[in-house]
């Protein structure tokens, strides 16, 4: 959908300010939520009930590295986690509402009929099995797939967190996620997914520094030119 982007006035930033603001707020909030969450996990670094640990989890009783934790101890980390959870949720909600209302979703989200072929072509290019596919608009198909996947699993992380917070008062949600232990496993696995995404994301940004400028200043040059 290159046409959607080329019809915009040239002065329009690549990323409108609400997207840049919520993106960077989310980056900071994700660090706080992940760090405090891992500190909470230190208190019982296992999955499954005490009498019946999950057979499929390879890291039973392996504590997450201290450098990745935040909050100092269990009670402190819980205060961090339950305070910043509100900001994390509200920021995500603001982003989603802006995405929907502004029409930005059209060129940012993954639509299989439009983007699947391009996502596969880009993936093959990364594996050096094919030539680089022709660029399409703001993001390539694989980027759209990655960003949309994150937007789908992030709400799951919030819902699983809610189930862990109130397993008795929210019985339907908790049952839907496989009970308290199911929700706990989902909460950790989705974190792993978000961490994997973030790692690849940061590497890609490091390889393409102009995207960092775009997400920070809204344009890809330090001077005022509309597009790089």
Partner 1 sequence: MERWNERVERLLFDPDRLAPELGPEEAPEPSAFPKYKISRQFPHTPAGWLLRIGGLVARPMTLSLEDLQRLPQVSLRVRHHCVEGWSAVASWTGVRLSHLADLVRAEPRAAYVEFRSFDSGYYSSWDRESALHRQTILAYAMNGQPLSREHGAPVRLYSAVKLGYKMVKYLTELSFLPERSGGYWENQGYEWYAGV
Q: Which region, left, alpha or beta, applies to residue 180 given φ > 0 means left and ψ of -120 to 50 means alpha? A: alpha
Instruction: Say how far apart CA 170 and CA 67 lie, in whole Å.
Output: 33
Instruction: Say how far apart CA 220 and CA 191 lie, in whole Å.
Output: 31
Instruction: Considering the complex, state which of residue 44 and residue 126 has its C-beta at the smaller distance from partner 1.
Output: 44
In the complex, what is the shortest distance from the CB of residue 52 to partner 1, in angstroms, rounded to a whole number? 6
In the complex, what is the shortest distance from the CB of residue 38 to partner 1, in angstroms, rounded to a whole number? 12
Instruction: Considering the complex, state which of residue 131 and residue 172 has its C-beta at the smaller distance from partner 1.
Output: 172
In the complex, what is the shortest distance from the CB of residue 169 to partner 1, in angstroms, rounded to a whole number? 5
Binding residues for partner 1, per CB under 8 A? 40-41, 43-44, 46, 49-52, 73-76, 78-79, 82-83, 166-171, 179-181, 184
Instruction: Considering the complex, state which of residue 41 and residue 110 has its C-beta at the smaller distance from partner 1.
Output: 41
Instruction: Considering the complex, state which of residue 152 and residue 176 has its C-beta at the smaller distance from partner 1.
Output: 176
Q: Are 177 and 196 in contact (CB under 8 A)?
A: no
Contacts of 25 (CB under 8 A, 6+ apart): 87, 91
């Amino acid at each position: 959908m290159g046409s959607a982007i080329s019809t915009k006035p040239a002065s329009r930033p690549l990323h409108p300010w609400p997207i840049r603001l919520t993106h960077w707020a989310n980056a900071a909030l994700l660090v706080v939520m992940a760090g405090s969450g891992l500190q909470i996990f230190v208190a019982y670094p296992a999955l499954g009930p005490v009498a019946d640990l999950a057979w499929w989890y390879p890291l039973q009783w392996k504590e997450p590295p201290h450098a990745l934790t935040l909050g100092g101890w269990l009670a402190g980390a819980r205060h961090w986690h339950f305070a910043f959870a509100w900001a994390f949720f509200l920021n995500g909600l603001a982003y989603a509402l802006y995405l929907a209302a502004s029409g930005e979703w059209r060129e940012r989200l993954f639509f299989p009929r439009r983007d699947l072929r391009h996502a596969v072509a880009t993936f093959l290019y990364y594996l050096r099995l094919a030539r680089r596919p022709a660029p399409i608009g703001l993001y390539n198909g694989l980027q759209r797939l990655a960003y949309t996947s994150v937007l789908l699993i992030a709400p799951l992380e919030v819902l699983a967190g809610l189930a862990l917070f109130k397993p008795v008062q929210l019985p339907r949600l908790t049952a839907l996620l496989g009970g308290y232990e199911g929700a706990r496993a989902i909460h950790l696995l989705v974190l792993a997914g978000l961490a994997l995404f973030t790692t690849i994301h940061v590497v890609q940004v490091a390889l393409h520094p102009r995207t960092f400028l775009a997400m920070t200043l809204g344009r890809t040059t330090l001077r005022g030119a509309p597009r790089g």
